[in-house]
Structure 1
């Protein structure tokens, strides 16, 4: 059973520098070296963390360990070895794969894991299952949280391990399929990968993983874990920590203390530790003393659809880089059958040579149905028709790729061309529309900074407080307890009981005050199923957040900034507005929250999801909405749901409801 203070992460180890050893011809991969190394380091595996003698980073536990004579483990957590596997039976996690796991995959005979690794079974065609030994990190807290959590993870190691230069489209599809096979079992996924083609894989996965609701992070290293001085430790620990503590439902790339959107990155250095950059989009997370998440730019799933992986990519796509003197004959040969799509790397802001043979070759290719997507050779900036040479290129039939990276444009084109339901016209249109935040909308490439004046902020606060008082005055069942505020009367007029003199406000202070009040309002509105109040909060809160941080790439319904107020947590219980709506049977509020980007996989401090509460309270309509949006039971849900299911044997409706939830 999964503990409430534990998150599950599946590490898919495809290969790459991170797990290599030095051989006669340079760095070479070694099966199970990575797993064994992580198991031997207590920062990555702390089997005694629940023991009295495990200090787990706290003063009291260290003193208990010290008084016992240091019998259990080395006090040097970062360099000491964990207890050998033979001394402690490692809990296992059920893992599925498209290839055989364990003995069938040919483990090295002298590996300590080869004797203990369970055999896999084929559960269906091309689907294998095995219970892999799991590792568990020491408990840690996320900034701003009072709850510590450990991360339990299993490592699904590919055989053979691949150098990333050997990766192709079938391997991208394999990773996406393995995430889909394990989606219900794990809370997040970390993919270990070589750096050479990492940005291609992260871009492709962002499209293959449709309606993603959980965190997927791809990472690797410039220097392998086997070397004394390396970046593998920080990269893997950073990826694990973010995946285990935060729900960022995107395919991301983590490197050098920074989490990027996966389809916005490109490799910029082969000999520096900051090997990746996101030229046209800010990072999602910066890891320093604190982990700072840029929630305003995190994409939220606002459609009522379950996660699935797309399993087809068109191989008939290619990239052509323009150069001075390129001829029409070269372009014609490049665009010959069976090519269906071309990413054209143009000069500057989308410019191309104006020679007749070049323009004619491009126009003929477009007329034959080949989709040509124009992007810039420059790392920063976007293509446009600001110059005559760029306008002529667009008039020939090329599609502007705005500010997509070459890796992203290629994978997106392969993804769209593999969808038989899309016409060529639709593919052309979709190439210029952000599907996963991969490009900047044309209208917002050079956004004008709209500032909210102080008077407007003060007027907004008056309205917020009025709404707060109105909601607080109504009967409240099981919503969070919020202290009554006597600042304004219900009519919005100043309360005569207030004797304090007014003070001067800045626009930032006013906006910050609104941001503090909105979470309370959202929870109250969700508990009472007050749709109008909820719409008002979600719409206005988006405007407030836009003044406090960079604009979001995606703006869901009612103007809510992605990752904001819709997922605010009550401090004591850790419940989101969706939890509150599910507990109180507020069906309309639950649907509105889901359409505004509420995360269905969030767990409160007890380890419960909104789906568990909706089923426990027998709110079937909310259960249906949550399942439609991709919700599954997780964390502490499973054992409690199993108990309630067994207790409800005499109630067919209750049994059917828990079965619907997957019990």
Structure 2
């Protein structure tokens, strides 16, 4: 991060109260006025000779030289009245933002002196309220008053002034105990030690020791020169509800009532909650009437995921994932998003799921480039075709798996064939643990899947996350691919089927017949029970999804509630009796005449296995014949 330039850097220090300036009265600490006068008497905070030479006003102080050619001059603006941070609210933080707005053009940066108890809430709120920020805003305070002989206030305030005056860090930060933290990533973790704050899911932006180390790659960049926008209208009817084991649904219902408009729900572990139907019913009802509920883990580190059935149940109830946001950041974000005028409920949910101010680490969206016809593809091909030196062989071995996955993602059969001719093993996994078959199955390229299967790749290989190509095809609802994989011997592993009941119930509740059909086609038992002990059929009946009820009854009535297994492992009925002869109306997939020991075909334009009843094979030029 570039150092600030210019002989003088002017800062505004907004003193709102807090422990740093408190005095003891009758054995208790109360806010103390006159912080500028206190700092004026401390040489580390004020160079009196320079101030006299420049005729600075009494509320303006100047630090000793930070470097031979630079001075940090700061004006102390004392809040009236001074407040303990426990009394600070969204209204006061909006006023601080408006103060920054009024003085934005006069100063190079801002330091907000604030109490520690709600400092993380303040920093998070300011980060959302101040849009297009291009100057540093740094909050700081103390665990011990600055008047005490042994205190942390002097070090914290001096560090905040120097960081704001010497470095161009265009975001809201928190400086404490020699660390500069992103404001909306910080949380208070200790009430007594000087190291009171931490940033559990993001490293410090800067660390101060004998040297000042700036993590430049973490600091927010100024994307475009736009004026500061202050969103002073923020919603105040927001709250935090922390779940605990055995929490009654009646308490949750009472908390979620109007006028509440947004809630941060602090859940267990990776975003889990009790799966009692009455509790989920209250959450679903609240979300249904427009209450925004953000799911945040009450763990200090980690993120909300959908790895567990209980977490998936919360997502189904309409909760928005808070990923790895702190509760302070999630509450501030809720207030900001709900305060934005003219947005629909879906618009607000989309904003909550986006990283707006660096407050969370959203899941990365995998993007694989296509090699077909691209200059990069041609150059890579030329490079890989060079002589077989030892160095080139090593590079080729490292690149080919990833290139094969990229070609499979694009469905580029010519590129896959070219890689085979270069000596690529199409069954080798790339750095993500995925083989080309995983990639082709996930995106639904039946042609690439067919080619890879003919090359003899391992059909049940697991990727780095333990997922098979078949499960990836099921999730993508690629029924033609599922048929190809099943015919080649693919089957879902016990681990993949472990939570299938809950997923099937979720699909039934959403009337997702296509998803249910994909699981049935992959061999899943549609009678499996979900997390609440109900089957998908019971869920569909209770939800009134009659079409899904009919579909499930039809599917479960065929071959013992499972789809046909792979020809290579299913002997079927004796004497060539069909394993299954089913046509499900309205679903768009047909399995007919799959017979052990007889010829059958994969229809590349259809959506499943096509048997003799499709018409003469010679009339179906798009079909590829197979033999069991």
- Tell me the TM-score normalized by structure 2: 0.57
User: What is the aligned partner in structure 2 of residue 15 from structure 1?
Assistant: 17
CA–CA distance in structure 2, aligned partners of residues 133 and 385 of structure 1: 54
User: What is the aligned partner in structure 2 of residue 134 from structure 1?
Assistant: 60
User: What is the aligned partner in structure 2 of residue 40 from structure 1?
Assistant: 41
User: What is the aligned partner in structure 2 of residue 281 from structure 1?
Assistant: 202
Distance change in 2, residues 1:305/1:421 (3 Å): farther
Within 5 Å, which residues of 2 pair with 1:515-534?
Answer: none
SS in 2 for 1:373: strand
Asked if structure 2 preserves the Cα contact closer than 8 Å seen for 1:90 and 1:135, the reply is no
Deviation at 1:410, TM superposition (A): 0.4
Asked if structure 2 preserves the Cα contact closer than 8 Å seen for 1:321 and 1:344, the reply is yes
CA–CA distance in structure 1, aligned partners of residues 235 and 41 of structure 2: 43
User: What is the aligned partner in structure 2 of residue 344 from structure 1?
Assistant: 265
CA–CA distance in structure 1, aligned partners of residues 40 and 72 of structure 2: 13
Indicate yes or no: 2:126 matched with 1:205: yes
1:295-314: CA deviations, max 9, x gaps? 10001121342112111110
User: What is the aligned partner in structure 2 of residue 28 from structure 1?
Assistant: 30
SS in 2 for 1:253: strand
Asked if structure 2 preserves the Cα contact closer than 8 Å seen for 1:90 and 1:133, the reply is no
CA–CA distance in structure 2, aligned partners of residues 414 and 285 of structure 1: 28
Deviation at 1:317, TM superposition (A): 0.7
Deviation at 1:316, TM superposition (A): 1.1
Indicate yes or no: 2:43 matched with 1:91: no
Runs of 4+ residues over 4 Å off in structure 1: none
Indicate yes or no: 2:287 matched with 1:366: yes
1:60-85: CA deviations, max 9, x gaps? xxxxxxxxxxxxxxxxxxxxxxxxx9
CA–CA distance in structure 2, aligned partners of residues 89 and 188 of structure 1: 21
> Structure 2 stretches of 5 or more lacking a match?
368-375, 380-394, 396-628
Within 5 Å, which residues of 2 pair with 1:467-616?
Answer: none
Distance change in 2, residues 1:7/1:89 (3 Å): closer
Distance change in 2, residues 1:423/1:303 (3 Å): farther
Within 5 Å, which residues of 2 pair with 1:313-352?
Answer: 313-352=234-273
Higher RCO, 1 vs 2 (CA within 8 Å, ≥6 residues apart): 1
Asked if structure 1 preserves the Cα contact closer than 8 Å seen for 2:18 and 2:141, the reply is yes
User: What is the aligned partner in structure 2 of residue 416 from structure 1?
Assistant: 337
User: What is the aligned partner in structure 2 of residue 553 from structure 1?
Assistant: none
SS in 2 for 1:393: helix
CA–CA distance in structure 2, aligned partners of residues 400 and 303 of structure 1: 29
SS in 2 for 1:296: coil
Deviation at 1:148, TM superposition (A): 3.2
CA–CA distance in structure 1, aligned partners of residues 59 and 125 of structure 2: 30
1:382-418: CA deviations, max 9, x gaps? 0010001100110110000000000100010000001
User: What is the aligned partner in structure 2 of residue 95 from structure 1?
Assistant: none
CA–CA distance in structure 2, aligned partners of residues 371 and 304 of structure 1: 33
CA–CA distance in structure 1, aligned partners of residues 48 and 160 of structure 2: 20
SS in 1 for 2:328: helix
Asked if structure 1 preserves the Cα contact closer than 8 Å seen for 2:111 and 2:161, the reply is yes
Indicate yes or no: 2:235 matched with 1:234: no
Asked if structure 2 preserves the Cα contact closer than 8 Å seen for 1:90 and 1:134, the reply is no
Indicate yes or no: 2:356 matched with 1:435: yes
User: What is the aligned partner in structure 1 of residue 219 from structure 2?
Assistant: 298
Deviation at 1:36, TM superposition (A): 1.1
> Structure 1 stretches of 5 or more lacking a match?
50-84, 93-131, 142-146, 448-455, 460-506, 508-663
Asked if structure 1 preserves the Cα contact closer than 8 Å seen for 2:130 and 2:228, the reply is yes
Within 5 Å, which residues of 2 pair with 1:620-659?
Answer: none
User: What is the aligned partner in structure 2 of residue 144 from structure 1?
Assistant: none
1:240-289: CA deviations, max 9, x gaps? 00000001000000000000000001000000000000000010010001
CA–CA distance in structure 1, aligned partners of residues 277 and 342 of structure 2: 35
SS in 1 for 2:222: coil
CA–CA distance in structure 2, aligned partners of residues 404 and 377 of structure 1: 10
CA–CA distance in structure 2, aligned partners of residues 42 and 313 of structure 1: 41
Distance change in 2, residues 1:88/1:24 (3 Å): farther
RMSD after superposition: 2.3
Asked if structure 1 preserves the Cα contact closer than 8 Å seen for 2:242 and 2:265, the reply is yes
CA–CA distance in structure 2, aligned partners of residues 28 and 414 of structure 1: 30
CA–CA distance in structure 2, aligned partners of residues 148 and 16 of structure 1: 34
- Tell me the TM-score normalized by structure 1: 0.54
Asked if structure 1 preserves the Cα contact closer than 8 Å seen for 2:59 and 2:77, the reply is no
CA–CA distance in structure 1, aligned partners of residues 91 and 307 of structure 2: 39
User: What is the aligned partner in structure 2 of residue 499 from structure 1?
Assistant: none
The one of 138, 149, 153 equivalent to 1:217 is: 138
